[in-house]
Amino acid sequence: MPRAITKRWIAEAPASISVILASRKALQRCRAQRQRWGAPRPQRSPVSPRAITRRWISEVPS
């Protein structure tokens, strides 16, 4: 059983890793832009970048 799970995880890993790396890049870009704009109040923004990233990851077909 663990071996089957590992095989499936290895098969799926490249896609999930690329998604994680892409979302991390997007988050860094968001932070860089926010710093460039003089850090507008994050509390005011209706959706945080992290929430957007989570939703985007959940929408990506695995």
Confidence at residue 42, expressed as pLDDT on a 0 to 100 scale: 56
Between CA 10 and CA 44 the distance in angstroms is: 41
pLDDT at residue 24 tops 80: yes
Angle in degrees, 0-180, between the axes of helices 2-36 and 49-59, rounded to the nearest 10:
140
Looking at every residue in the chain, the average pLDDT score rounds to 70
Q: Which amino acid is at 45?
A: S
Between CA 54 and CA 41 the distance in angstroms is: 21
Segments making up each domain of the chain, as ranges: 2-59
Confidence at residue 17, expressed as pLDDT on a 0 to 100 scale: 74
pLDDT band at 15, cuts 50/70/90? confident
Sign of the C-alpha dihedral, residues 48, 49, 51, 55?
positive
pLDDT band at 54, cuts 50/70/90? low
Assign 54 to helix, strand or coil. Answer: helix
